[in-house]
Structure 1
């Protein structure tokens, strides 16, 4: 319908956008076809299947319970511990058996400062702990 029913009775002044949409779709298809597909291979080392089970599977050690309360005090297995001593304590746990580390379970109070948690995580990273979990209450 090219005519409007307004009081002027004249032709509608709107542009017909159907040809414009058709041209845009054709251009889109041309660009999609002519654009080279870029693929970057990613090397992934997947474990290989073995028929024999692992020899003497080790029992995992007891987890380390690390709690940070609202006042910023850190507790290592319910024992108050200064933040400065955490890295050495974590390093001692890792050095016992680097292939079978205990899990570090971190429980923080909602009101605890993030800076204390950041120091704990930095100490864990520097001590090369790989099993870190967060306890959710």
Structure 2
């Protein structure tokens, strides 16, 4: 039922369009559209590492460990190239040892600062406290 406006006389035809049937039809079409769209299945493929019982234990020295960064940006842990994720795993393992081994960081003077900064961020997140920089004399006459 529609209500008449305040200034209209009785008996005049109503000139407003009834919106209720239009809204009903639109809602039915919307529900049909929602029901007919296919369900999207989202999958992320991951290649997880397989635990090999014959693998060698990580090369962690109980006295001191050395991280180097070469000019190509390769991060090395005691001479073996590692990723930043593996580096974090090694650092976490060293922090639970008793006594905690020292960590020596030796970036090459030609190494990119961004890579060295990422390595330092990993050591900070691993809460490494016994850390020192080795080979600072290489930077004494380095002009950039």
TM-score (structure 1 length as normaliser): 0.51
Q: What's the counterpart of residue 47 of structure 2?
A: none
SS at match of 2:110: coil
Q: What's the counterpart of residue 41 of structure 1?
A: none
Kindly name which structure, 1 or 2, has the bigger radius of gyration based on alpha carbons.
Answer: 2
Residue 133 of structure 1: how far off its partner (Å): 0.6
1:78 aligns with 2:76: no
CA distance in 1, matches of 2:66, 2:90: 13
RMSD: 1.2
> Structure 2: which 5+ runs fail to align?
1-61, 139-144
Could you list the per-position Cα deviations for residues 81-103 of structure 1 after superposition, in whole angstroms to 9, with x for gaps in the alignment?
11222111100111123xx2111
1:62 aligns with 2:73: no
Q: What's the counterpart of residue 88 of structure 1?
A: 89
Q: What's the counterpart of residue 55 of structure 1?
A: none
Could you list the per-position Cα deviations for residues 5-46 of structure 1 after superposition, in whole angstroms to 9, with x for gaps in the alignment?
xxxxxxxxxxxxxxxxxxxxxxxxxxxxxxxxxxxxxxxxxx
- List, as ranges, runs of 4+ consecutive aligned residues in structure 1 with deviation greater than 4 Å: none
CA distance in 1, matches of 2:129, 2:75: 20
> Structure 1: which 5+ runs fail to align?
1-60
Q: Is the 8 A contact 1:101 1:129 kept in 2?
A: no
